[in-house]
Amino acid sequence: MTVRTEETTTEEARAAFAREWQEWHARHEKIRADAHGFLAITGLHWLDATPTRFDDAPGAWSSRPEGVVVELAEDEELVLDGEVLRGRHDFGVLAERSSIFPAAGDAVIEVAKRGGYDIVRPRHPDNPLLLAYTGTPAYAPDPRWARTARFVPFETPRPTTVGAAVEGLQHVYDAVGRVEFDLDGEELALTAFNGRTPGSLMILLTDATSGVTTYAANRSLSLPAPAADGTVPIDFNRATNLPCAYTELATCPLPPAENRLAVAIEAGEQTPTTPVTAHRSVPN
């Protein structure tokens, strides 16, 4: 007969917590290493009114008042949503932070708007950065860093301007409230933006580990929609690197000033083994 003790139960809970984190991290790594993910990006091309050709994408690209335009030569084509594009194609005016992904052979050509600028970012599955990727180190999962927080919504969303990994670029996000939590007896709070799914939250942050064991510029946290009573789980074991930790061809946002914590959050993803040391600027 096995005698179950509180210590046994705690050990089992920690093991289950670690397994769940490992499964989550494996899914995250699989997405990161996708053939057309951000590790496959080969160029960050800023568009203007002059049709311009790039070595890693078919066509001559420009940004006009009517939106992004590509002019394809007779022997060139793109495929978008099953439709073959030839000659001139107008993508129209893109919404901020939106992307379109027409295919060009085994590559995709991301057409996007970031910080008010139209850009083209080709993604090639044979990009050396992607082929050389072997994974991202992380702290061992620890339940200590998983907390129940309180979401305090703002009366109305507050447009918040933040910097970007690209010098001279800015992003504007709607801050929807603050996530308050206790850490070893200290009350802390982080400004939260809208997440990817309705009601969910996204947090950008740095802490005392940033630039030491974790990426200096930023990490992000995704939180589910808060419960009716305002409670929301926050798990720093799932603090993840943004694309700018891996490539200078990213336009990632930086945390607002109030999200730069003085405490050390020794949880989540750490600095990649080949970190980025410099970033490009927006062309004048």
Structural domain boundaries in the chain? 38-131, 135-259
Distances (CA, A) of 65 to 28, 68, 90, 213: 38, 8, 11, 45
pLDDT at 9: 64
Asked whether the beta carbons of 241 and 215 are under 8 A apart, the reply is yes
What sign does the dihedral 268-272-273-276 (CA atoms) show?
negative
pLDDT at 224: 97
Residue 235 has pLDDT above 90, yes or no: yes
Residue 26 has pLDDT above 60, yes or no: yes
Q: What is the share, in percent, of the chain residues with pLDDT greater than 90?
A: 90
Tokens representing 146 are: 């998983």
**Separation between Cα atoms, residue 187 and residue 161, nearest integer Å:** 25
Over range 13-32, report the average pLDDT: 96
pLDDT at 280: 63
**Separation between Cα atoms, residue 101 and residue 34, nearest integer Å:** 14
Going by C-alpha positions, the residue among 109, 135, 139, 116 that lies closest to residue 33 is: 135
What is the pTM assigned to this prediction? 0.90
**Separation between Cα atoms, residue 215 and residue 208, nearest integer Å:** 11
Q: What does the chain come to in residues?
A: 284
pLDDT at 3: 41
Q: Which residue has the tokens 């959050």?
A: 265
Residue 202 has pLDDT above 60, yes or no: yes
pLDDT at 1: 39
pLDDT at 283: 72
Residue 4 has pLDDT above 60, yes or no: no
Asked whether the beta carbons of 179 and 234 are under 8 A apart, the reply is yes
DSSP strand pairing (99-100 vs 88-92): unpaired
pLDDT at 278: 56
pLDDT tens digits along 100-120: 999 999 999 999 999 999 999
Going by C-alpha positions, the residue among 230, 149, 227 that lies closest to residue 188 is: 149
Residue 65 has pLDDT above 70, yes or no: yes
Tokens representing 106 are: 């085994």
User: Residue 221: how many CB atoms within 10 A of its CB?
Assistant: 23
**Separation between Cα atoms, residue 239 and residue 181, nearest integer Å:** 16
pLDDT tens digits along 131-140: 999 999 999 9
Residue 219 pairs in a beta bridge with: 205
Mean residue pLDDT of the chain comes to 94
Residue 277 has pLDDT above 80, yes or no: no
Asked whether the beta carbons of 118 and 68 are under 8 A apart, the reply is yes
- At 10, is the pLDDT very low, low, confident or very high (cuts 50, 70, 90)? confident
Over range 20-40, report the average pLDDT: 97
**Separation between Cα atoms, residue 83 and residue 85, nearest integer Å:** 6
